[in-house]
């Protein structure tokens, strides 16, 4: 599965702690992130992450492009609901794309944990079918 990590400044440490707790689960997946968030996660966990620009410089939009191309399976976006973000239109566009393309999206740690439990159980296997990667039965 392709998994994206994004976090506002006040939530980066929460996401780092979260990825550290689930490091073993994340090892089996292809990981993407916006700039600074990716560096912090890699330093804390040793996970290999493809990094895009920082969010305000277009990283949200780069991840959004993968969503629009049906190349992203899960987005963990730890938002800070108490701080105004200068690139709010980009954030809204990313969330809208997740809704349009039925991409599971967690905007807080509680939802992220539930999605990861489902990922671990195989509940997100349907994403492989949507991407056309599942094996089909010969008829």
Cα 54 from Cα 17, distance rounded (Å): 20
The answer to the question of residue 21 being in a domain is: yes
DSSP per residue, the chain: -EEEEEE-GGGHHHHHHHHHHTHHHHTTSEEEE-HHHHHHHHHHH---EEE---GGGTHHHHHHHHHHTT---EEEEE--TTS--TTHHHHHHHHHHHHHTT--EESSHHHHHHHHHHHHHTTTTHHHHHTT-SPPPP-
For the annotated catalytic residues, the residue numbers are 60
The answer to the question of residue 59 being in a domain is: yes
Whole-structure pTM value = 0.91
Cα 29 from Cα 77, distance rounded (Å): 17
Domain with 65 in it: what CATH number?
A: 3.40.50.1380
The answer to the question of residue 136 being in a domain is: no
- State how far Cα 44 lies from the chain centre: 17
Cα 109 from Cα 93, distance rounded (Å): 21
Q: Which domain holds residue 80?
A: 2-130
The answer to the question of residue 135 being in a domain is: no
Q: What percent of the chain has pLDDT over 90?
A: 81
**Residue range 129-137: mean pLDDT, rounded:** 66
For 108-123, the pLDDT digits (tens) are: 999 999 999 999 999 9
The answer to the question of residue 87 being in a domain is: yes
The answer to the question of residue 139 being in a domain is: no
The answer to the question of residue 11 being in a domain is: yes
The answer to the question of residue 116 being in a domain is: yes
Q: Give the number of domains in the chain.
A: 1
pLDDT level of residue 55 (50, 70, 90 thresholds)? confident
């Amino acid at each position: 599965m392709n998994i994206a990590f994004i976090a506002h400044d006040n939530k980066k440490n929460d996401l780092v702690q979260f990825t550290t707790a689930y490091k073993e689960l994340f090892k089996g997946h292809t990981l993407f992130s916006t700039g600074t968030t990716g560096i912090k996660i890699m330093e804390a966990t040793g996970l290999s992450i493809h990094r895009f620009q920082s969010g305000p410089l277009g990283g949200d939009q780069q991840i959004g492009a993968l969503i629009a191309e049906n190349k992203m399976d899960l987005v963990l976006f730890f938002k800070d609901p108490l701080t105004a973000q200068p690139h709010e239109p980009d954030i809204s566009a990313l969330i809208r794309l997740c809704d349009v393309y039925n991409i599971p999206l967690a905007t807080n740690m509680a939802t992220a944990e539930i999605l990861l439990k489902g990922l671990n159980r195989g509940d997100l296997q349907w994403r492989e079918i949507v991407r056309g990667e599942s094996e089909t039965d010969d008829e």
